[in-house]
Structure 1
Amino acid sequence: MSSNLKDAILRYIDTHDGDGEDGIYRTVIDGLFLMRTSHQDMPKPMVYRPALCLVVQGAKQVMFGDELFAFGEMQALVVSLALPAFGKVVGASTETPFLALALEFDIGVMRQVMEELDDPPRPAADAGPAVFVDALDGQLADCFLRLLRLLDTPKAVPVLSPAIMREICFWLLTGPNRDKICKLALPDSHTQRIARALHVLRDHFAEPIRIERLAETARMSPSSFHQHFKTLTAMTPLQYQKHLRLLEARRLMVADGSNVAEAAYEVGYESASQFSREYARMFGAPPKRSLAELKALPA
């Protein structure tokens, strides 16, 4: 199965715009992305959306807060909340490039499928992080192969892909990790309550945010909110906000050419020196040196 998935990914990438270069490829299937890289890289910061990321060849590590998740060939990283993290490809070469696919979850579809199950799953009693790694084979692997093969016939995508998406949700909601996946579909689970607070944080990350406001959004007491937030995200609300601020500042400096002071004030820092200190702690170097090193990396 893995060889068929590799062939399907490479076939799409090799014919996409006729280049076949390393990069992330958005497909005509909504929420489906393909990735290829022929070199190991430095940890890259980004916000992971609720999705399943399957490694088809190579290996990767992702750090959420203080927790490290490693996954290799035919293993999937499943994320059920929008979380800032550092991702690093650790298995890749020119001869054997890293290949992966990512499928963002459609919560509405997952909820519909769950409502139709005769015996819907129940969330695990013990709270755990909103991230886990699992082996992917059998029916699920076949679903992803059929989804990739649809890319060869774009006209078939709007007709056939919805059924495959529902099938993927079915196997996830009835599989060995159904007690974790179902938290995505339950409208009033702790995961969904924290997700509402995360929306507020993402929309207002440059503003001072009171924990009481976030707890009220999640309909929890401040102490319960803080506990569930830390359990699900592996960081505190303030750490989460800081990650969002620094990621956006980095984007502003790299993509928009903002200087250090401009980026700092834009994301809510009152002091450029404080921003530089916290940036260095997160990225391992002060802003100017970090950007120079970033520009020196392979494209």
Structure 2
Amino acid sequence: MTDVYIGDNEKLVQIINQWTQGKSQFKTPITGLTLYRKEQPTQLNSTILDASLCLIAQGEKQVILGEKVYTYDSNHFLFTAIDLPIITQIIEASPEQPYLGVILRLDPYVLAQLMLEAHIPFKHTNNEKKGVAVGLVTSELNDAFVRLLKLLETPQDISILSPLIIKEIFYRLLMSPQGEQLKRIAATGATGHRIVKAIEWLKTNFAKSFNVEELASTMGMSTSSFHQHFRDMTLMSPLQYQKRIRLTEARRLLMTEDSDISSASIQVGYESLSQFSREYKRFFGTSPSEDIKHISK
């Protein structure tokens, strides 16, 4: 039986600390791997998190999905099996002991291939269905991440060795107690796989109006079944998911692209500026104009 890894992750701390000096984020040359550093707790932040495995070397963080709050630290990993609009907050960080984290994007197609190659069984169950979970870090998982990050010191090895180590990490995740949630997503033909395809469509076409019945039919599901499984996995309806994607993208446009309120609302698919402003304030707690004033100070 795999031992739970609790405690000594000094190597992971050292490596992330080394590569994030002077920066809050480092997109590594390893596909899908990003390192993070924060030297103080953060405010609540709305973002869209791709299907990812999140590991913390030092510090503590919480992720909010709907009414559910997930807290994790250096002894726990968090993964999202699907792309989700979430709210995040780093709750433990300081200049002396900064928050140090790593996010590895999950590839459902590699996961599906791995399930076939390793003959990993998938069982249809009525257990936990949400597309996000927190689990205990094992020594094997921690060591695999250390080996992956050490490749940054030998860039010539990355293209050959990183896919092998990432595959090992995915395997460890699939075989963890939380792995059933991933298997349901990765198993081709399974309901979870269809919801993933629907989410991919919504992320690409979030600015367009859509008919839930037609989208369900395209995914080969009845409307009622589609609604139920979508809500089980994301804790929101398809229309709520689209709205959160729209509002999160609108805030990004306002905060980082110097877009005006009217242009941002139209770009994300709103026809009514007043409706956009009303829903924006309800979701973020501040109006679009207040956000713009804040960043212009």
Output the TM-score relative to the length of structure 2: 0.93
Q: Kindly indicate whether residue 115 of structure 2 is the aligned counterpart of residue 114 of structure 1.
A: yes
> Once the two structures are superposed, what CA deviation does each residue of 1:31-77 show, in whole Å capped at 9, x if it has no partner?
11100000111111111111100111111111112221111123111
Task: Quote the sequence identity (%).
Answer: 37
Give the 3-state SS of the residue equivalent to 1:122 in structure 2. Answer: coil
Structure 1: tracts of 5 or more residues without a match: 14-19
Give the 3-state SS of the residue equivalent to 2:30 in structure 1. Answer: coil
Match of 2:19 in 1: 12
RMSD of aligned Cα (Å): 1.6
Q: Kindly indicate whether residue 263 of structure 2 is the aligned counterpart of residue 262 of structure 1.
A: yes
Which residue identity does 1:12 align to in structure 2?
A: W
Match of 1:46 in 2: 47
8 A Cα contact 2:122 2:184, kept in partner: no
> Once the two structures are superposed, what CA deviation does each residue of 1:148-202 show, in whole Å capped at 9, x if it has no partner?
1111111111121122112112222222222122123201122211111112212
8 A Cα contact 2:128 2:181, kept in partner: no
Structure 2: tracts of 5 or more residues without a match: 1-7
Aligned length: 290
1:156-175 aligned at under 5 Å gives the runs 156-175=157-176
Match of 2:10 in 1: 3
Match of 2:94 in 1: 93
Which residue identity does 1:8 align to in structure 2?
A: I
Give the 3-state SS of the residue equivalent to 1:151 in structure 2. Answer: helix
Which residue identity does 1:11 align to in structure 2?
A: Q
8 A Cα contact 1:121 1:174, kept in partner: no
Q: Provide the rounded CA distance (Å) in 2 between the counterparts of 1:168 and 1:142.
A: 10
- 1:295 to 1:5, Cα distance in 2 relative to 1, 3 A: farther
Give the 3-state SS of the residue equivalent to 1:93 in structure 2. Answer: coil
- 1:4 to 1:266, Cα distance in 2 relative to 1, 3 A: same
Match of 1:210 in 2: 211
Q: Kindly indicate whether residue 285 of structure 2 is the aligned counterpart of residue 292 of structure 1.
A: no
Q: Provide the rounded CA distance (Å) in 1 between the counterparts of 2:125 and 2:174.
A: 13
Deviation at 1:124, TM superposition (A): 3.5
Q: Provide the rounded CA distance (Å) in 1 between the counterparts of 2:113 and 2:208.
A: 36
Deviation at 1:112, TM superposition (A): 2.2
> Once the two structures are superposed, what CA deviation does each residue of 1:107-145 show, in whole Å capped at 9, x if it has no partner?
232222211224534354335210001111211111001
Match of 1:17 in 2: none
Output the TM-score relative to the length of structure 1: 0.92
Deviation at 1:295, TM superposition (A): 5.5
Q: Higher mean Cα deviation, 92-101 or 60-69?
A: 60-69
Q: Provide the rounded CA distance (Å) in 2 between the counterparts of 1:49 and 1:163.
A: 21
